[in-house]
Structure 1
């Protein structure tokens, strides 16, 4: 039985992971930014804002005092974002970097001393297929998720001498409430991302089952669904095809943007 801490555990993939770990008999601490939430039966709950170093320090103190240590840290909390490079604001970039990247960095920094003392532990970082393949109109999201993949690979080598393993999770779109976190200047991109999330045939439970299976095997790269795996393999082994697909997406986006601009130009009779 492992002792597991999951961030972003109140909804979406985080909640599905909490439920899956509990069902398999593990001790689970679900954390999220809100206070006073009720976790699934069998789990504990603490408020933890991944942007707060103080909250992370308090979480370390809690697991040491309550459990005597931790076996698996799941850095899962995150938001969805995206937009064209000339439309998305720098404030939006700051927000997604602080949550999706620095939130993971803070978690890794907070728990690494404990894992080193234990000479054991596993860090599981939720990235995205966007960390491996990089569609247009998603500069900020692609960038932070690629950084999480790079951070995870770095730590997998750095912490190996201490008996600590690292996994990084890279799913494609699946049904979740992640679309609710999308906010920004590029509303066309936001609407498109929400549709992809809502229309996906995959659920958070589907992804969680594959993730927990990969965690058990201590796989470094966990790609839990077929579309993400195919996209990654296409980029690796058929790069010209991958480039053509991405440029088609960009071309369609340009056509939609120009059509929208044309619709917004008043006719002569309206001027």
Structure 2
């Protein structure tokens, strides 16, 4: 029988590319996303592809997806925890509700997926978990605290499971892409206009396509490779960080000093606009 693959957040972007890659390879694929039905999710990739609603924040919906896999497929071979959102902003400007939002999706959504399907994989004595993290999890650049934390925790979770699940024949891969034009910018939350604009441009101008990332993921699963650092510039940056950390410290500090100057100017402009908005309108001069 063909390989059984579940991909979260797969109606668009990288998730859709992953689903399409596996479907084209002859796998059975379950596309999951927030749309209530297949019609709402849009056209699915060609092949043996099904759709099921899944909000990764809902344990009940995770159980429903697991039940579907067991009923229709008798289990699952590859779980791809792809669903995610993005946020940028200085630490004091990111609201508590935004921290809860990003952690509930990026981290807890991944945890729920693992908790739901690990018992299935253990009973089978086989399975592969693919968790989508980010290059941000390895570099931890300033102005991205909530996103960095959510993705760094996914890396930590994945490394833990790599060892914990190995005795049951269950493998783990964590993927750390750089910027990819996936539409992630449409979910971006930020109270820092400058940082948000910069993030949107970086995402939209990503050097690799979702399809190229999907191909790397499939190859890593086949070879049972743990870490996938997808972008050449990401691999280079991480190597420099490990070999010459003081150099990276200086470069990041200089970059953030320049950014601070722009943020200070933005703050001054916002304060002036707010002050002007509170000024009462000037009385009009009487006309003759």
TM over 0.5: yes
Larger Rg: 2
Q: 2:60 matched to which residue of 1?
A: 54
Matches within 5 A, 1:78-117: 78-117=84-123
Q: 1:19 matched to which residue of 2?
A: 20
Q: How far off its partner does 1:184 sit?
A: 3.0
Q: 1:210 matched to which residue of 2?
A: 216
Q: 1:35 matched to which residue of 2?
A: 36
The verdict on how the C-alpha distance between 1:13 and 1:62 changes in structure 2, with shifts beyond 3 A counting, is: same
Counterpart secondary structure, 1:109: helix
Q: How far off its partner does 1:188 sit?
A: 2.2
Q: How far off its partner does 1:186 sit?
A: 2.2
Q: How far off its partner does 1:264 sit?
A: 4.2
Q: How far off its partner does 1:211 sit?
A: 1.4
**Contact kept? 2:185, 2:199, Cα under 8 Å:** yes
Offset from partner CA, 1:185-206 (integer Å, 9 cap, x none): 2232211110101122321112
Paired with 1:39 and 1:46, the residues of 2 have a C-alpha distance of 12
Give the TM-score taking structure 2 as reference length. Answer: 0.90
Paired with 1:148 and 1:207, the residues of 2 have a C-alpha distance of 18
**Contact kept? 2:194, 2:266, Cα under 8 Å:** no
**Contact kept? 1:165, 1:218, Cα under 8 Å:** yes
Q: How far off its partner does 1:175 sit?
A: 1.1
**Contact kept? 2:6, 2:30, Cα under 8 Å:** yes
Q: 2:238 matched to which residue of 1?
A: 232
Offset from partner CA, 1:225-244 (integer Å, 9 cap, x none): 21211121121111112112
**Contact kept? 2:178, 2:206, Cα under 8 Å:** no
Say which is worse superposed, 67-76 or 200-209, in terms of deviation.
Answer: 200-209
Q: 1:8 matched to which residue of 2?
A: 9
Offset from partner CA, 1:82-108 (integer Å, 9 cap, x none): 211011111111100000000000000
Q: 1:195 matched to which residue of 2?
A: 201
Paired with 2:218 and 2:240, the residues of 1 have a C-alpha distance of 25
Offset from partner CA, 1:158-192 (integer Å, 9 cap, x none): 10110000000001001110000012322322111
The verdict on how the C-alpha distance between 1:265 and 1:158 changes in structure 2, with shifts beyond 3 A counting, is: closer
Calculate the aligned-residue CA RMSD, in Å: 1.5
Counterpart secondary structure, 1:195: helix
Counterpart secondary structure, 1:132: helix
Q: How far off its partner does 1:266 sit?
A: 4.5
**Contact kept? 2:7, 2:31, Cα under 8 Å:** yes
Counterpart secondary structure, 2:92: coil
The verdict on how the C-alpha distance between 1:99 and 1:264 changes in structure 2, with shifts beyond 3 A counting, is: closer
Paired with 1:6 and 1:199, the residues of 2 have a C-alpha distance of 25
Paired with 2:272 and 2:210, the residues of 1 have a C-alpha distance of 44
Paired with 2:86 and 2:7, the residues of 1 have a C-alpha distance of 18
Paired with 2:116 and 2:173, the residues of 1 have a C-alpha distance of 17
The verdict on how the C-alpha distance between 1:159 and 1:266 changes in structure 2, with shifts beyond 3 A counting, is: closer
Q: 2:283 matched to which residue of 1?
A: none
Give the TM-score taking structure 1 as reference length. Answer: 0.95
